Amino acid sequence: MSETLTCISPIDGSVFAERPTATLQQAKDAADRARKAQAAWAARPLQERIDLVMAGVAAVGEMNDEIVPELARMMGRPVRFGGEFGGFNERASHMAQIAAEGLAPIEVGEDATFKRYIKRVPLGVVFVVAPWNYPYMTAINTVAPALIAGNTVMLKHATQTLLVGERMAQAFHSAGVPEDVFQNIFLSHDTTSALIADNAFDFVNFTGSVGGGQAMERAAAGTFTGTGLELGGKDPGYVMDDADLDAAVDTLIDGAMFNSGQCCCGIERIYVHESLYDAFVEKALAVVRGYKLGDPLDPDTTIGPMANVRFAKIVRDQIAEAVEAGATAHIDTFAEDDGGAYLTPQILTEVTHDMRVMREESFGPVVGIMKVTSDEEAIALMNDSDFGLTASLWTQDLDRAARVGDQIETGTVFMNRADYLDPGLCWTGCKQTGRGGGLSVIGYHNLTRPKSYHMKKVTK
């Protein structure tokens, strides 16, 4: 039975878009078409697949003037920031540039008797379940390399960003990617689980909540379907005693508050050496007090509403519990804070790891700041988490950053940077943040399987 997916705009709570879900049979038929189309797509020359994918990427760029306000209406990001095409294009372009290397056979050896090598072959049908917070950039992380590697792709986007998959499919089809090779599909949770359990896909890439990732694994149990999961995060920043204070404040606070704090690798907790703590807090407060909360369609707005009222409630509850337990909330309520999706960005001090706001994912415009006395104390606090996506270290000493980074349980270590995805590096996490890895050469390895050739020559 078909259901209706409804995108509620955080701007004013109105219905922005609705789409009916596919029935289970319609979804199975779509997956069958993807499977039947895969061999012919993989048989095309690599450069042809690259050219078609990059033409699809360019076609998305041509829609950017429409996409930017559409994103503001769907998930609240201010139009002043210009959308996601820069990162979308950067990631796809990098994967196109390294495709020949990432997919090249591994030559083991050849002599008069034997030729031996390992090929990378596509998995088949790749199912991408994308999140709403960076709906284009997160989707392209897998869509581009999966298609380039010779897989067919089915994309299911979040209800909050209901129109993104349609946009991408329209762009890629207009560029010449066959319709059955890249499909956008609207699915209910039950139909999604049924398809995975029925071995409709050869690989599932999911970005979302820990609970969502667990549901994906349960659906895939016993099917031997591979999964790549990017789940929750509670990313720390550590400001050492020799840090560039102004740069650390500007970058870490932006990393905590940009996109209303709704970033996979956003900064959610900050540890500052005691010698810089007071100055850091003072400068951080000045930055946040200068934000303009409001309608994301207004070019003067610097921080928009959270994507959904229920997301804002989680953040408000965490802040209230922390304050009741002894934390100090420094930012007075903004006049535009409506108690709903429009939420005052907040900085908390006197926080401890007994508080939810320092342990559970907030995914909103709030950050707790703690004073530390040593690298050892900071490392222990950074590792005192169920999550591990990124950690941001601030120091002028590269060796020190590497030494501290080696001891942090995380997927990516940044030095003097935060909240950025470098497509040349593997995007990965540990603990409850998930498993697998995207982008880089490793991204290609995770979207293909090795196939070994042991060829004995006929000799007389």
Per-residue pLDDT of 382-431, as tens digits, reads 999 999 999 999 999 999 999 999 999 999 999 999 999 999 999 999 99
CB atoms within 10 A of CB 202: 21
Which pLDDT does position 357 carry in this prediction? Answer: 98
The owner of tokens 């209230």 is 320
Which pLDDT does position 381 carry in this prediction? Answer: 98
Strand pairing of 106-110 and 114-122?
A: antiparallel
For the whole model, what pTM was predicted? 0.97
The domain segmentation of the chain, as residue ranges, is 4-231+433-456, 235-422
Which segments within 257-409 are labelled E, that is strand?
267-273, 328-329, 346-349, 366-372, 387-388, 390-394
CB atoms within 10 A of CB 25: 9
Which pLDDT does position 365 carry in this prediction? Answer: 98
Helix (H) / strand (E) containing 424 = none
253 close to 287: Cβ distance less than 8 angstroms: yes
Written out in words, the top-level CATH class of the domain with range 4-231+433-456 is alpha beta
pLDDT band with cut points at 50, 70 and 90 for residue 460: confident
pLDDT band with cut points at 50, 70 and 90 for residue 180: very high
Cα dihedral 375→378→380→383 (10° resolution): -120
pLDDT at 247 over 80: yes
Which pLDDT does position 459 carry in this prediction? Answer: 81
Query: Could you tell me which of 434, 17, 438, 13 has the C-alpha nearest to residue 186?
Result: 17
Q: What is the mean pLDDT of residues 68-86?
A: 97
Which pLDDT does position 193 carry in this prediction? Answer: 97
162 close to 308: Cβ distance less than 8 angstroms: no
Query: Do 4-231+433-456 and 235-422 fold alike per CATH?
Result: no
Q: What is the mean pLDDT of residues 322-338?
A: 98
Which pLDDT does position 2 carry in this prediction? Answer: 76
CATH 3.40.309.10, applies to 235-422 = yes
pLDDT at 438 over 90: yes
378 close to 372: Cβ distance less than 8 angstroms: yes
Letter string b/e over residues 429-443, b meaning 16 or more CB atoms within 10 A of that residue's CB: bebbbbbbbbbbbbb
Q: What is the mean pLDDT of residues 6-15?
A: 98
pLDDT at 177 over 80: yes
The owner of tokens 């596919």 is 22
pLDDT at 1 over 80: no
DSSP string, 154-202: EEE--GGGTTHHHHHHHHHHHTT--TTTEEE----HHHHHHHHHTT--S
Query: How many helices (DSSP H) and strands (DSSP E) are in the chain?
Result: 15, 22
Which pLDDT does position 281 carry in this prediction? Answer: 98
Q: pLDDT (tens digit, 9 = 90+) per residue, 337-357?
A: 999 999 999 999 999 999 999
SS3 content of the chain, % helix, strand, coil (to 5): 40, 20, 35
Residues acting as catalytic residues: 230, 264
pLDDT at 297 over 80: yes
pLDDT at 68 over 90: yes
Give me the percent of the chain exceeding a pLDDT of 70. Answer: 100
CA atoms of 156 and 26, how far apart (whole Å): 14
The owner of tokens 């196109």 is 96
